[in-house]
Amino acid sequence: MTLFYSDVFVLPLPAHHRFPMGKYLRLRERLLASGEFVDNDFRVPEAASDAEITRAHCPQYLRRVATGELDGAEIRAIGFPWSERMVERSRRSSGATLAAAREALTRGWSANLAGGTHHAFRDRGEGFCVFNDAAITARAMQSEAGLKRVSVIDCDVHQGNGTASIFAGDDSVFTFSIHGARNFPFAKETSDLDIELDDGTGDDEYLWHLERGLDETLERSRPQLAIYLAGADPYEDDRLGRLKLTKRGLARRDRMVLGALAARRVPVAIAMAGGYARDIEDSIEIHANTLQIAREVWGDS
Ligand SMILES: [Zn+2]
């Protein structure tokens, strides 16, 4: 098994910035410490190339990100100060989801230990997202593997607005997002399937809706590849989320999504997406559980 990480590409952030940059390295360390994963399971991906990025983003946007020409409002919307390391990290993180998809097509599943940058639009970024890794990956797999149908299953607590926008009117990529109705983004886009949940929604209600959403997604899109955004931020003690899932509920979610895909032999590339728990170790534990569950469900392929 190979999982892809980009935690060695750390971008410089001011003190007290609310993005938990340290969580990615700690996730990899936690997986190693569990004894269920070894060093050889982890690999640094290639950076996504200009050609790969511009299948999902407009060339002018890529150029302006790469050369640091974004204006103040665009930088504020992204939420990271511009630096060359920010650009490199964004390319590597997209490259990690892309590499995970290639791996999944031969071995059933793989994961990016970061990624899930679903608020990036074709020509702009927001909410800590510069390039849309799922969109870049779906387009690459269509181009290089000839896939006709890809599903993005987005279980981050925030709507996958950038992904929905990039694939609006495109029947080849089905976008499903299940999220908090009152969570960011406040003006939502239209996915192929959106399920909006009230503040405080707990495990059972969430899973009831998810099961129906998954059935509809798989029935309507019959995907040859799924990209699963396994956000840890629907967690009850998340600083940014408005839902109230427990760790056990999130593990049931992962088992439901990954089990449904495995039962239909749909390969899956997993991205971690958000996770901002008051105690960041909780987010790390939830992400680690996702990967352990994936391995259980698919076997050590
Ligand atoms: Zn999120």
Q: How far is the CA of 118 from the centre of ligand 1 (A)?
A: 9
Q: What is the pLDDT of residue 11?
A: 86
| C-alpha of residue 233 to centroid of ligand 1, in Å | 6
Which residues are CB-contacts of 2 (< 8 A; sequence separation ≥ 6)?
A: 41, 42, 43, 99, 103, 110
Q: Any idea which residue has 């990025």 for tokens?
A: 53
pLDDT of residue 18: 86
Find the Cα–Cα–Cα–Cα dihedral 62, 21, 98, 84, rounded to 10°.
30
CA 146 to centroid of ligand 1, rounded, Å? 30
Active site annotation includes 119? yes
Q: From the CA atom positions of the chain, what is the Rg in Å?
A: 17
pLDDT, tens digit (0-9, with 9 covering 90-100), for 231-249: 999 999 999 999 999 999 9
Candidate list 57, 118, 119, 158, residue with the active-site label: 119
pLDDT at 14: 87
Query: How many Cα atoms within 13 Å fall on the side-chain side of residue 169?
Result: 1
Q: What is the pLDDT of residue 36?
A: 92
Instruction: Say how many Å lie between the CA of residue 93 and the centre of ligand 1.
Output: 16
Long-range contacts of 254-259 (CB under 8 A, 24+ apart): 254/230, 254/289, 254/290, 254/293, 254/294, 255/293, 255/297, 256/207, 256/210, 256/211, 256/214, 257/153, 257/155, 257/210, 257/214, 257/228, 257/230, 258/109, 258/228, 258/293, 258/294, 258/297, 258/298, 259/297
Residues by chain with Cβ below 5 Å of ion ligand 1: 156, 158, 231, 233, 274
Q: Which residues of the chain, if any, have pLDDT below 50?
A: none
Is 166:130 a contact under the CB 8 Å cutoff?
A: no
Expressed in angstroms and rounded, the spacing between residue 114 Cα and the centre of ligand 1 is 12
Q: What pLDDT sits at residue 299?
A: 81
